Structures are given as structure tokens and as C-alpha cells.
């Protein structure tokens, strides 16, 4: 009976996370608004000259986009993952599943993750485990969905606000290093919305990591979600914890030649995505926005949304007179005093 209660609690938590995430909205002001491209009035190219392909040593993002980890582990989230997998298949972009620990401990919910591979048999699907996972668990997660890559999510603030969350973290770095060395697919270490610092990324490089998703503050706020789940709701002061995606990309800038940077968290529109690529990201993760579109309007509208997102990124690249992501890095930008002050105080240049 105790095991049944634990399983039910996990399924309830998965559903609560999604419901609370869907209820959140984008911040009216973002650090992306602190960055401005310099407009040059006469491009000397056409939209058909632009490619958004991002080529990595182990995989390719054909549109520089991927659907980031969100959910799985219950009957309701099975339906969500099925829809998202259909969108990823039709748009031709990778999709990461949410944390797979529920399925590693309970065969009854495996299908909520396996459905992604069934709906997208030839696509790029990424597995997902926490930094708590053992090497054996990581291998099982990869095998469960025939994953082309593995995300390891790090979420210390969420765990500490979560009533039933983890309180032990001293083994995380060693666990990450073991998994990186022991699995046969590329490993992407990702935050869940609190951003990454220069020191964190440097330490991950020392663990053998070659891909990170900085996933900064500004998108889904898991500190706020977990505070809503607390009886007293007494940790609301943690809702502003962390660095934005913009600041995280600035933190990573001096390490770009040693590690591949992916960006998610608070990407509101194609212009935000292009700004993230300009700051050093090599791919853009989408989560809550595409989830909201698919849940509210259906799979077909979700497909149209991402295709239009990609087309508008191409239009912005044309306006900037750049044909690819590498050339985009040379585009002139102006940043505001807040970001200048962050750079100065952190002495990252």
C-alpha cells in the first residue's frame, strides 16, 4: 500500500506541475529587452539565402529549435507527450521528454515516455534524468525511448522549495561525470529555469560535459510552482532566484570555444531567439509556449506555430544581413547599463 501511495503522489505531482506551468504567463519585461540590434537599412541578400541549421559534433538542429523537456509520468501527461511528439515529427526538430524517474521506478507509467518514440520513430528524441541518477538508470532511460541524447537536469532551487524535494547535492558532480563517461549518446546538462554561471559551466567542462542548456530565469518558474504546492506558501521570496537566459549566455561567453551552449528559458518570440543565438547559443529550446498552444489549440496549430517561428527567425536574419548563425555572431548590438554593470562586476571579459 505504501508503494501505491508513493506512485499516486508522483503522478499527482507531475499533473500539478503541468497545470501550474500552464497557468503562468511571460514576464512583461525581459532581459532580452535590454539588448538591441543596430539596424542597417539595406540588406544585400534574400530570405532564401538564410540557413538556420545548427551543426553539432553529435547531432543537428535543422531549424536551430528543439522542444525542451516538460513532462511524463501520468495518464494525462502521456496525452501531452503524444501531442508534442507529433508536433516535433511534423516540424522536424528534436524533442526532449521530461524527467523519467517515475518510469524508472514504475513500469505502469513507462508508456507516457515511450509514446514519444512511437509517434516519432525516426526523429531525434532525448531522454531525461536528474543529477541524482545512477549510470544504470541513465542507460535504462536511454534504452526506454531509444534516445539519441540524454539530458541531465539540475534543479537545486526547485528541490529545496519542493516540500518533498531532495536535500542532498554533494554527489551531483560525480554522478554527472560517471554518466557522461558511461553512456553511448551525447549528454546535455540543463538547468530548469534558474540559469547557469561561468563557474558552473567551467565545472561541468571538468566533468567531461560538452553540451549545456543554460535555461535561464524568465520562462517556467519552478520555484513559484513548488511554492504553490506548499501548505503555507511561505517561500515566495525565492521566485526571483537565478540568472536570466541573457545573463547566463554572457556568463558562458568566454567558454564558448570549450563547450556547446543551448539556450532556453523565457524565449518569448523569434527576436528573443535570434538575440540568444547572437549571444552565443547554438540552439533554442521551446517549452511552455508550445505546450500552451498545443493544449489550447491542438497539434495542427502547434505545428503552424513552430513553422511560423522558424520563418520569422529567417526574416530577422535577412534584416540583419546574415546568412547563418556563425555570421550572426558579428552583428552589431547595444546592451543597456544593467548588463554592462553585470559584465563589469563579474569581470568575464
| Residue ranges at the known binding site for FMN | 69-71, 99, 128, 190, 215, 220, 266-268, 287-288
Torsional sign, CA 184, 179, 79, 26: negative
In angstroms, rounded to a whole number, what is the distance separating the alpha carbons of residues 256 and 113? Answer: 32
In angstroms, rounded to a whole number, what is the distance separating the alpha carbons of residues 195 and 193? Answer: 6
Grid look-up 561561468 returns 198
Residues making up the binding site? 13-14, 69-71, 99-101, 128, 158-159, 190, 215, 220, 266-268, 287-288
Residues making up the binding site for substrate? 13-14, 99-101, 158
SS3 state at 256: coil
User: In sequence order, what are the beta bridge partners of 335?
Assistant: 35
In angstroms, rounded to a whole number, what is the distance separating the alpha carbons of residues 289 and 294? Answer: 9
Strands 211-213 and 187-191: parallel
The length of the chain is 349
Residues making up the binding site for Mg(2+)? 159
User: In sequence order, what are the beta bridge partners of 60?
Assistant: 55
C-alpha cell at 104: 524508472
In angstroms, rounded to a whole number, what is the distance separating the alpha carbons of residues 275 and 259? Answer: 19
Amino acid at each position: 500500500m505504501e508503494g501505491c501511495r508513493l506512485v499516486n503522489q508522483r503522478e499527482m505531482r507531475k499533473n500539478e506541475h503541468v497545470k501550474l506551468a500552464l497557468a503562468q504567463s511571460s514576464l512583461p519585461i525581459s532581459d532580452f529587452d535590454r539588448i538591441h540590434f543596430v539596424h542597417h537599412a539595406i540588406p544585400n541578400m534574400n530570405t532564401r539565402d538564410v540557413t538556420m541549421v545548427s551543426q553539432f559534433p553529435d547531432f543537428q538542429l535543422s531549424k536551430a529549435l528543439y522542444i525542451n523537456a516538460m513532462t511524463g509520468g501520468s495518464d494525462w501527461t502521456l496525452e501531452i507527450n503524444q501531442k508534442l511528439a507529433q508536433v516535433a515529427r511534423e516540424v522536424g526538430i528534436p524533442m526532449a521528454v521530461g524527467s523519467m524517474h517515475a518510469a524508472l521506478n514504475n513500469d505502469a507509467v513507462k508508456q507516457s515516455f515511450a509514446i514519444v518514440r512511437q509517434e516519432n520513430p525516426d526523429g531525434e528524441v532525448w531522454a531525461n534524468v536528474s543529477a541524482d541518477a545512477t549510470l544504470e538508470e541513465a542507460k535504462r532511460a536511454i534504452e526506454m525511448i531509444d534516445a539519441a541524447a540524454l539530458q541531465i537536469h539540475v534543479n537545486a532551487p526547485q528541490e529545496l522549495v519542493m516540500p518533498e524535494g531532495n536535500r542532498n547535492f554533494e554527489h551531483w558532480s560525480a554522478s554527472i561525470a560517471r554518466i557522461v563517461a558511461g553512456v553511448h549518446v551525447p549528454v546535455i546538462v540543463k538547468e530548469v529555469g534558474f540559469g547557469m554561471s561561468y563557474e558552473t559551466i567551467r565545472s561541468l567542462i571538468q566533468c567531461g560535459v560538452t553540451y549545456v542548456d543554460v535555461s535561464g530565469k524568465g520562462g517556467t518558474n519552478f520555484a513559484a510552482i513548488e511554492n504553490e504546492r506548499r501548505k503555507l506558501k511561505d517561500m515566495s521570496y525565492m521566485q526571483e532566484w537565478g540568472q536570466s537566459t541573457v545573463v547566463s549566455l554572457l556568463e558562458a561567453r568566454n567558454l564558448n570555444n570549450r563547450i556547446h551552449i543551448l539556450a532556453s528559458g523565457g524565449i518569448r518570440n523569434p527576436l528573443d531567439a535570434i538575440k540568444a543565438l547572437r549571444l552565443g547559443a547554438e540552439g533554442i529550446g521551446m517549452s511552455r509556449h508550445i505546450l500552451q498552444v498545443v493544449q489550447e489549440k491542438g497539434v495542427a496549430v502547434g505545428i503552424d506555430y513552430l513553422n511560423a517561428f522558424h520563418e520569422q527567425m529567417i526574416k530577422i536574419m535577412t534584416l540583419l544581413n546574415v546568412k547563418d548563425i556563425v555570421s550572426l555572431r558579428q552583428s552589431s548590438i547595444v546592451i543597456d547599463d544593467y548588463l554592462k554593470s553585470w559584465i563589469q562586476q563579474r569581470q568575464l571579459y
